Amino acid sequence: MGSAYMKKLGFIGMGNMAQALAMGFINAKAIAKENVYAYAPHQEKLLKNAETIGFTPVATLKDLARSVDTLVMACKPYQIEAVINELGKALEDKALISIAAGWDIAKYRQFITTNTRLQFIMPNTPAMVGEGVLLFEEENTLTSEEHQQIVELFRSVGLVKELPSRLMGIGGTVTGCGPAFVDLMIEAYGDAAVKYGLQRQDAYVLISQMILGSAKLQLVSGQHPGQLKDNVCSPAGTTIRGVTALEEQGFRNACIKSIDAIMNK
């Protein structure tokens, strides 16, 4: 999407996810930085982020709504009701993109009765470097032109995938929480590498690139992960010994249980 025809975008809240998206959009030149605005209650922090990322900070929610056509609800889920109440009629005839967990279109309809057009998206933090996963709820009330423009905007920072409402929860769990699990794995293998003599920074670079490369190989080849694993495991070799140790510790079961813990809260 060229900045020539992108409408002005306003972030309600500027936490980690909003920063990742704003930085990703601006760095990808998907939208001109002068067309990106943001409001957050902690103005001092907002001003610092504005200097770093390049968006325009505003002083109030109403100022934000007046400045833009498309709003991104990026505050904490528990704050949304108050934000909707404060904005009131300022939400009319706006496109509202929500990235707050749990706030799908059905939930918004309990609070918004105006002609606000809605789209629920679940992004993840790798969007900051153009490698995000952006899950779009299939049900939305955007115009077809708005939908196309917003898909193109988010595609500039990663993979866009549309899911039915009932699958947004599990899709968002594996892609939104997953980066923390991978980071935990990077740290753990980093500790192991340091234990056997590697410098920590070297260890992190090698392990992160190994994970990036392994993931890309699966995406590009389309091969089953089990087949790719088998390709590395020579008979009586080193890798199969490591795989056996992971299985003895319940590695795959631990991965599944981490998702169970979130979905069955």
Taking the CA of residue 76 as centre, how many other CA atoms within 13 Å lie in the half-sphere pointing to its CB?
3
Residue 2 confidence (pLDDT)? 41
Model confidence at 6, in pLDDT bands (50, 70, 90)?
Answer: low
Query: Percentages helix, strand, coil for the chain, rounded to the nearest 5?
Result: 60, 15, 30
**Model confidence over 66-76: pLDDT tens digits?**
999 999 999 99
pLDDT at residue 9 tops 90: yes
Residue type, 54: G
The DSSP annotation for 213-243 comes to HHHHHHHHH---HHHHHHHH--TT-HHHHHH
pLDDT at residue 134 tops 90: yes
Taking residues 213-224, what's their average pLDDT? Answer: 98
Measured over the CA atoms of residue 33, residue 35, residue 40 and residue 46, the dihedral's sign is positive
Taking residues 214-231, what's their average pLDDT? Answer: 98
Residue 1 confidence (pLDDT)? 40
- Cα separation, 133 vs 125, whole angstroms: 9
20 CB contacts (<8 Å, ≥6 apart)?
123, 125, 126, 127, 128, 132
Residue 189 confidence (pLDDT)? 98
* Integer CA distances (angstroms), 24 to 99, 123, 222, 235, 253, in order: 15, 12, 27, 44, 34
pLDDT at residue 110 tops 70: yes
Residue type, 218: Q
pTM above 0.75, yes or no: yes
pLDDT at residue 5 tops 60: no
Mean of pLDDT over the chain: 95
**Model confidence over 139-185: pLDDT tens digits?**
999 999 999 999 999 999 999 999 999 999 999 999 999 999 999 99
For residues 183 and 159, the answer to whether their CB atoms sit within 8 Å is no
Domains annotated on the chain, with CATH: 9-163 (3.40.50.720), 177-263 (1.10.3730.10)
